[in-house]
Amino acid sequence: MRSKEEYLREAIRVSQESRAGGNHPFGAVLVGPEGELLLSAGNTVSTEHDCTGHAETNLVRLASRKYDRDFLSRCTLYSSAEPCAMCSGAIYWSGIGAMTYALSEESLYQLTGDDPENPTLRLPSREVFARGQRKVEVSGPHIENEARQAHKGFWHPNEED
């Protein structure tokens, strides 16, 4: 089984692919109970013209079609950035049992500021999950400096490296 950092690096890799494909730099992967990498999804907001096309919601849609809730309860979703309130809700409703993220919502806000492409609610995923009737294990932030790299120059194209 790989380490959580390795799975997060895979989610970051997917976020870089999303950016290269014309979307926002976010990625997510689903890891099964035995540590197997099951699915990955990137952000498709721009290319699909769908405001709900966040990496995590895209991954939840794929996972829900392929796996039952019992299996998903033993899986972990790894995300390049802390899921927003919408994505946290999708993770909760899918039955996925755990979520680990790299870049925190607050750190992301510090990168994006008031950019209209990321009108964040500034609501940590732990707060969303705390209101639910079932537990979702949360771990993060981790390797934030690595996760930030996919965002360099994206939100503020003239920023220095």
Cα separation, 37 vs 39, whole angstroms: 6
Average pLDDT over residues 133-160: 92
Asked about 34 being catalytic, the answer comes back as: no
Give the pTM: 0.95
β strands within the chain, DSSP E: 27-31, 37-42, 76-81, 98-103, 137-139
Q: Say what the pLDDT of residue 160 is.
A: 57
Q: Say what the pLDDT of residue 159 is.
A: 63
Cα separation, 138 vs 100, whole angstroms: 6
pLDDT band for position 79 (cuts 50, 70, 90): very high
Indicate the pairing of strand 37-42 with strand 98-103.
unpaired
Model pLDDT for residues 26-61, shown as the tens digit of each residue: 999 999 999 999 999 999 999 999 999 999 999 999
Do the Cβ atoms of 134 and 98 come closer than 8 Å? no
Please identify which of the residues 6, 17, 48, 56 carries the catalytic annotation. Answer: 56
Q: Say what the pLDDT of residue 25 is.
A: 98
Neighbours of 84 (CB within 10 A): 23
Average pLDDT over residues 63-89: 98
Average pLDDT over residues 11-16: 98
Q: Say what the pLDDT of residue 143 is.
A: 98
The DSSP line for 20-37 is HTTS-S-EEEEE-TTS-E
